[in-house]
Amino acid sequence: MELSIGEEMVLERLSFLLEGEVIRRFAATIGHRALGIVANAMIVWRVPLEEVERVGLIMASFDEVTHCYERPSRQNWPYNLYTVVHSHSRDECRKVAAEISHKTGVEDYQVLFSEREFKKTGARI
C-alpha cells in the first residue's frame, strides 16, 4: 500500500513538529566527498579558561568550522577547545587553522587529520 501526501501537508506537519520543539531543524545531508571535500581535521587548542567564551565564539564564526566545543584538559593533554574543519585538502585545513590562530591570538594548537573512518552516522535516539 502506497501512502502519498501533498507538499502542503508535509510542510504543515513539519511546522507542527518545529513549533512543538519535537525537532529543531529540517535539512538535507550532503555527500561532502562527492563535492571534493576529502580532508577532515580536528584542531585542538590550548585556551586560557577566562578566554574560552570569547575565543570559542570567534572560532565558531568561521564558515569552515562545523563543530566547536570545549572539553576539560588533562594532565598530559592541555587542549580544551576543539574545532572540526572539512576542506578540499590538508593544506587548506592548515590554512584555516592559521587564520583562526591569527584572529583569536591562540598559538598553542595541533591539527589532527582523520586517517580512516570506521563509522559515521547521525545521532540515533
Domain ranges of the chain: 32-113
pLDDT digits (tens, 9 = 90+) for 103-124: 999 999 999 998 888 887 766 6
What CATH number was assigned to the domain covering residues 32-113? 3.30.70.3460
- Between 83 and 26, where is the model more confident? 83
- Residue 75 CB neighbour total at 10 angstroms: 5
45-60 per-residue burial string, b: 16 or more CB within 10 A, e: under 16: bebeeeeeeebbebbe
Please write the tens of the pLDDT for every residue from 45-61.
999 999 999 999 999 99
Say what the pLDDT of residue 38 is. 78
The pTM of this model reads: 0.75
Q: What percent of the chain is modeled with pLDDT above 90? A: 62
